[in-house]
Structure 1
């Protein structure tokens, strides 16, 4: 029996509905093969992808601890980089390969089996189907990049071929990225904004082809940015062509999944902090102190104030003191709203990529300072910061691109003007507060901010903040030969072995 995947709207409807038949055997035909629409499969893939990137669940995604946005109080294992007790890599792997890539692949198979309705012109049908397939392809590229950026070498060329290939080999991560860029180029060329795409099922852009084209070029920009220190020539052509074709520069085009305000489809942050009545995660001193030092206007949004109006964080990886309810600031109420949107890509992020590109001398239409200022502005605007407060923040000599100085997170005064990597790195880290996976990627690419591992972190971290996740335990036991070959190829299945693009300054 095929598994039925439903959109958020459908799930909400069924949750609120009662029985549809008095026949007690109404739903008992367990041998029947139910048809699943391409639209429902797309909805499920988008939600699973966004959930995995958004959730703060220690079973799924503890990266808010890694980039030191949050600190734990009662339970410190995951904040000290323990990935094995809860088999976190297994969950991440399964969700992305099975629940995202698997559903996207099946969605395309459903599309390919469809028959053109008699009332639709052949040309219109071809445009619509090509647009739908291109959108699925763009999301596949986005998802494969996350897998590479998490683990390094991963199954790619032999993935998703069950039952033909049950135990896929792992491909070289450095070889996968150029293939993803090629796939994106093909998908972008296939998109035709004069045609339709998904009438329903697209939870991100509601089938708007022009928006998907902007998103695809922005993902291409992201791919090029990540490889800039490893393959400058490919990065340059990738970034410049993406920019010329049009990328996501304004919040109106942000790739958002809007959660419901009620169970079971509310935002995973609300689910884990409010619905679960868990208030034992607190903002980390690393971020809080940095934002305090800069008088950052996003503080009252990111954190709750103490009784005296100040903001106080907990030590990353530490067993922070009790009572945690009143000893520290907590995650801001706006972040914890049940219907807060999940994010796949947004304007400030793209502007920071362009700032990096301009700093490298690539032709992206403006200066690093221009995009740096735009990135900060777009972040603040997204969170509702006033224009006056944004202007004041950008004028702060510790923030202004021309004068931002080396400012160690320890709080000691810095000397000298920071490098472009440092200036962009610290501000991008702040702006990515609610985007922990992307923040972890930026931290590894730019080598800023400078983060220190807690002394009690797991031995496997070797005294450092991890730069990759170890492979799933299930891969070691089920796909052992290919796991062994991949582990040897990357230099060991370790937390400290970087993915191919992660070169150190």
Structure 2
């Protein structure tokens, strides 16, 4: 563990320097920093930054759990009322993912770390097979991060991003690219990365998630492609079917052990981000919301006992959008906010619900929507240690409705994706269930289906961000991402 902390510390120092100096040859001029940073260290740092940002519960940088109304707040309720300007939340998420020219120096981003890892890899002299495996790993995490940015904002700088050089230093303005065009390019990048993988040799030993196991990375690539394919289903149904079926046939996640993330977070520096924000912070700011808890109560959902504490023998959620007295309501258990709890960015439960949706749309993915719906719920129950008998009884009481399949899948996926903010948000936007009510104190015109562009973009990239905002229909939280057709 000490070695792991040291690796991340070295990566953070190197990336802090790189985020300030866009020309990496200047590393040779600074005696306080290493002349060569191992690409595996940079890759591990990118993984850590991605886990930390996507799983974070910080109101300063990730409020997706409020977009799906699964969490409530106690004293400070700005975020559950969708105030994203009092704290620069869109800016902070963008910078932590991108670390573009506008990024804060001490917060190196996922994509810039991966860019530099790829550069340093060229000079490390590893064998061809391992080098290709490492490149594939870098590419798959790249695709994950880029897709997250598109899903969050819509059109973004992509083809011209992260390419500043000594000849073009500083805050040069970068054009925004069409979100759909980016998505289709990301799928091509997945295919190219998966084709490079050779499971006979491992990838980076520094890999925090799969420890260089290329069979796991291959499944991750196929599963990520499957997610993107199903996401396209309402706007490109034929392409979505082709891509989804190809990914399915190539091999998706088959159980929890394949999940992209950490089965158990270590203690210390790399502890569960939710633990850091909910417990370690020493604050009592968050509760499970009544929107979620009441729904689960109505279904007698057995996951309540795994996720929430009781108040006078009952599960009681805090009023969404309102102030709540912390002691009056259910709290999160260690399964959610424990220091060593799990945390996943893409997982078997999500893939099973995506397979259910794909089958309901007429894709050939190994089963009927009815059967896959049962398997998806069982996957979520199993993820949290609930036995098959209990899961089967729950499914019998809450059967699949083939006529209203979006409602059946949307509501059950929303529950299953609890504490997986971005994953839950994608399901609820695409399937339009559950139907959320904008809280009375909301500062925006509706429940967010996208995030505002970073305010720094209007200072550093004004021409292009303004053009992008106009193209997508306005820089508003109610402007839908291109794939959110209905």
**Normalized against structure 1, the TM-score is what?**
0.87
Among candidates 132, 138, 148, match of residue 136 of structure 1: 138
The answer on 1:314 being equivalent to 2:340 is no
The corresponding residue for 2:111 is 101
**Cα pair 1:267 1:340 within 8 Å, conserved:** yes
CA distance in 2, matches of 1:60, 1:148: 16
The corresponding residue for 2:92 is 91
Among candidates 420, 428, 443, match of residue 435 of structure 1: 420
Among candidates 487, 490, 494, match of residue 469 of structure 2: 487
The 1:364/1:475 distance shift into structure 2, 3 A limit, reads same
The answer on 1:65 being equivalent to 2:103 is no
- Kindly report which structure 2 residues correspond to 1:182-221, keeping only aligned pairs within 5 A, or say none: 182-198=188-204, 200-221=205-226
The answer on 1:223 being equivalent to 2:208 is no
CA distance in 1, matches of 2:366, 2:155: 35
Task: Quote how far apart the aligned CAs of 1:12 are.
Answer: 8.6
The corresponding residue for 1:295 is 300
CA distance in 1, matches of 2:190, 2:219: 12
CA distance in 1, matches of 2:212, 2:85: 39
Report the secondary structure of 1:335's partner residue. helix
- Kindly report which structure 2 residues correspond to 1:64-463, keeping only aligned pairs within 5 A, or say none: 64-98=65-99, 99-116=109-126, 125-163=127-165, 164=168, 166-198=172-204, 200-257=205-262, 260-307=265-312, 309-320=313-324, 322=325, 324-325=326-327, 327-396=328-397, 399-402=398-401, 419-458=404-443, 461-462=444-445
1:392-412 CA deviation, whole Å, 9 max, x = no partner? 11121xx1215xxxxxxxxxx
Report the secondary structure of 1:71's partner residue. strand
Structure 2, unaligned runs of 5 or more: 12-29, 100-108
Task: Quote how far apart the aligned CAs of 1:472 are.
Answer: 0.5
CA distance in 2, matches of 1:456, 1:281: 18
The corresponding residue for 1:120 is none
For the pair shown, the structure with the greater C-alpha radius of gyration is 1
The 1:184/1:467 distance shift into structure 2, 3 A limit, reads same
CA distance in 2, matches of 1:488, 1:32: 43
Task: Quote how far apart the aligned CAs of 1:34 are.
Answer: 3.6
Task: Quote how far apart the aligned CAs of 1:10 are.
Answer: 3.6
Report the secondary structure of 1:68's partner residue. coil
The 1:317/1:422 distance shift into structure 2, 3 A limit, reads same
CA distance in 1, matches of 2:376, 2:394: 13
**More displaced, 333-342 or 254-263?**
254-263
CA distance in 2, matches of 1:280, 1:492: 32
Report the secondary structure of 1:218's partner residue. helix
**Cα pair 2:450 2:479 within 8 Å, conserved:** yes
Task: Quote how far apart the aligned CAs of 1:387 are.
Answer: 2.3
Task: Quote how far apart the aligned CAs of 1:297 are.
Answer: 0.5
CA distance in 2, matches of 1:368, 1:258: 28
CA distance in 1, matches of 2:393, 2:308: 20
**Cα pair 2:335 2:342 within 8 Å, conserved:** no
Structure 1, unaligned runs of 5 or more: 1-5, 15-28, 117-124, 403-416
**Cα pair 2:8 2:44 within 8 Å, conserved:** no
Task: Quote how far apart the aligned CAs of 1:328 are.
Answer: 0.8
The corresponding residue for 1:50 is 51
The 1:32/1:229 distance shift into structure 2, 3 A limit, reads closer
**Normalized against structure 2, the TM-score is what?**
0.90
The corresponding residue for 2:41 is 40
The 1:455/1:301 distance shift into structure 2, 3 A limit, reads same
CA distance in 1, matches of 2:181, 2:333: 41
Report the secondary structure of 2:287's partner residue. strand
CA distance in 1, matches of 2:338, 2:32: 41
The corresponding residue for 1:501 is 483
CA distance in 2, matches of 1:401, 1:291: 17
**Cα pair 1:7 1:44 within 8 Å, conserved:** no
Task: Quote how far apart the aligned CAs of 1:249 are.
Answer: 2.5
Report the secondary structure of 2:224's partner residue. helix
The corresponding residue for 1:22 is none
The corresponding residue for 2:449 is 467
The corresponding residue for 1:406 is none
RMSD: 1.8
